[in-house]
Amino acid sequence: MSQPPVGGQQPALDPAATMDSQEKLSGEIEAIGAEYAAAGRLETQPRLDYPPYRSSLLRHPTKDPHHVDPETIELWAPAFGERDVHPLEADLTIQHNGEPIGERIVVAGRVLDGDGRPVRNQLIELWQANAAGRYMHKRDQHPAPLDPNFTGVGRAITGPNGEYRFTTIKPAPYPWKNHHNAWRPAHIHFSLFGTDFTQRMITQMYFPGDPLFALDPIYQTIVDPKARERLVATYDHSITSHEWATGYNWDIVLTGSNRTWMEDDAQDEEH
Amino acid sequence: MSHAPELKLVPTPGQTVGPFFGYALPYDKDSELLAPGHPRSIRLHGTVVDGDGAPIPDALLEIWQADEAGTISRETGSLVRDGYTFTGFGRAAVDNVGHYTFTTVNPGPTEPGKAPFIALTVFARGLTNRLFTRIYLPEDTEALASDPLLASLDAERRRTLIAEREADGSLRFDVRLQGGDETVFLSYPRES
């Protein structure tokens, strides 16, 4: 399956990467979208088998997931607390000796479960590219500058109402090797735990109005237009602060808890 | 299946972990639920492979389990390990040849007669959403035979959920994302 290096300079990041044009990719994305719209069946999660995202070809399970009733250990999530995360870890702009370059932003919102209950005292982790679209990762070698004052990693524990708040820098779009001239929309990766281990998820937050949405096979793995819009944050002027940072709101809903909740659960999670 | 009441809110969709989690999600002693060499500790390890059987160099696994007595830990400190507290949670990135290792303990049954297992979550570049599965211990033959999940699978598929015990006491568990001997992945009643 491996392809020759693209462009003759760097090895292809992904063995499944192709030199297919954006036009070809967009055609595939559109055809899947049209087929989905005609089928009239709601899908709210990404498709595991989504051929336009070339690296999914050999990595998606071919058999349907096996339905199972969760057992004891799956009905609880690991406990996290202040021992695990310092409050300053939620500010990605103060981790080094100087100010990172770029547009300072605050991303704030709530984590809820599918029943609308706040997911409190749980871990949120995020990571992202810098304002030039470059990750602090040895395998990201695209010709954009690293920022010595920005690593792009943050952690927080959700508050009593499931709330979270990160201060960071707005990431830029960046190229990848899925197809010719492929660019990812600007995004922040989010990792979340719920009250059950069955609620564990990793996702990506996007910024409103990005022109790359329609062209991006990863964003489009969620074939339902309304469902994928749930990944787009809202610009929120009440989060924006005077002479300091622009603000975005993004609320996250995990799946339903399978556990019968007790009154003392909230306390248990707080110890 | 138990009764699963409808959700009030639609869950946020998942997305792939991508290729660049390697500087963000791994942390010091993340895969050591117990210090290596501890008298209680065992090694849990294996390889993550794709549909061609090729090892995946950019996958991340998480485990969550009870201790030997079947107790579910409510202790914090999974991210900043003190070396003594068993928190039940671990995270391991695979190496360049798709291999992972955890240092942990054999889980005990959380309820009498239940087959103990380790809950496992799989993330990878090219995998558009996380996958859940279970790692069962090979020894509990009676409990395995009466386990509702295992009983609902044919023998070939059941095999993919049962770890192999190696001579040194290690547990070997490979994850196959695709193909004939694809690992059984799980979905739960209230997902979306």
For the domain with range B28-176, which CATH number is right: 3.40.640.10, 1.10.287.130, 2.60.130.10, 2.40.128.520? 2.60.130.10
Distance of CA A159 to the CA centre of its chain: 20
Residue range B76-98, pLDDT digits in tens: 999 999 989 999 999 999 999 99
Q: Which of A110, A120, A134, A187 is catalytic?
A: A187
Q: How far is the C-alpha of B24 from the C-alpha of B33, rounded, in Å?
A: 19
Name the one residue in this structure whose structure tokens are 């339903």: A256
Most B CBs within 10 Å: which of A68, A142, A261, as the mutation test of the B interface? A68
Closest CA to A187 of A72, A105, A111, A66: A105
pLDDT at A62 over 50: yes
| Nearest chain A alpha carbon to B8 | A115
Q: How far is the C-alpha of B189 from the C-alpha of B139, rounded, in Å?
A: 29
Q: Which of A50, A53, A135, A164 is catalytic?
A: A135
Tokens representing A124 are 């949120």
Domain boundaries, given as residue ranges, for chain A: 87-212+229-253
Q: Could you tell me which residue, A107 or B83, shows the higher pLDDT? A: A107
Domain boundaries, given as residue ranges, for chain B: 28-176
Q: From the CA of A255, how many Å to the nearest CA of chain B?
A: 5
pLDDT at A43 over 50: yes
Tokens representing B30 are 């993340």
Residue range A207-257, pLDDT digits in tens: 999 999 999 999 999 999 999 999 999 999 999 999 999 999 999 999 999
Fold of A87-212+229-253: Protocatechuate 3,4-Dioxygenase, subunit A (2.60.130)
pLDDT at A108 over 90: yes
pLDDT at A11 over 70: no
pLDDT at B1 over 60: no
pLDDT at A7 over 50: no
Q: Which of A53, A174, A206, A219 is catalytic?
A: A174
Q: Read off the pLDDT band of B140 (50, 70, 90).
A: confident
Mean pLDDT within B71-75: 98
Q: Read off the pLDDT band of A119 (50, 70, 90).
A: very high
Q: What is the pLDDT of residue A264?
A: 54
Q: How far is the C-alpha of A2 from the C-alpha of A24, rounded, in Å?
A: 20
**Residue B133: CA atoms inside 13 Å, Cβ hemisphere, count?**
25
Q: What is the pLDDT of residue A266?
A: 54
Its ipTM equals 0.96
Closest CA to B19 of A228, A54, A76, A264: A54
**Cβ separation B16–A221 shorter than 8 A:** yes
Most B CBs within 10 Å: which of A69, A71, A124, as the mutation test of the B interface? A71
Q: Read off the pLDDT band of A265 (50, 70, 90).
A: low
Of A73, A135, A253, the CB nearest to B110: A73
Kindly list the residues from chain A whose CB atom is less than 8 angstroms away from the CB atom of residue B17.
189, 202
Reported pTM: 0.94
Name the one residue in this structure whose structure tokens are 């660049």: B20
Q: Read off the pLDDT band of A14 (50, 70, 90).
A: low
Q: How far is the C-alpha of A166 from the C-alpha of A249, rounded, in Å?
A: 11
Q: How many contacts, defined by CB atoms under 8 Å, are there between A and B?
A: 271
Closest CA to B64 of B135, B16, B127, B5: B135
Residue range A151-208, pLDDT digits in tens: 999 999 999 999 999 999 999 999 999 999 999 999 999 999 999 999 999 999 999 9
Taking CA atoms, A130 is separated from A232, A258, B24, B125, in Å, by 19, 38, 13, 20
| Farthest-apart Cα atoms in chain B, separation | 50
**Cβ separation A58–B14 shorter than 8 A:** no
pLDDT at A3 over 70: no
Report the share of chain B in percent with pLDDT over 70: 98
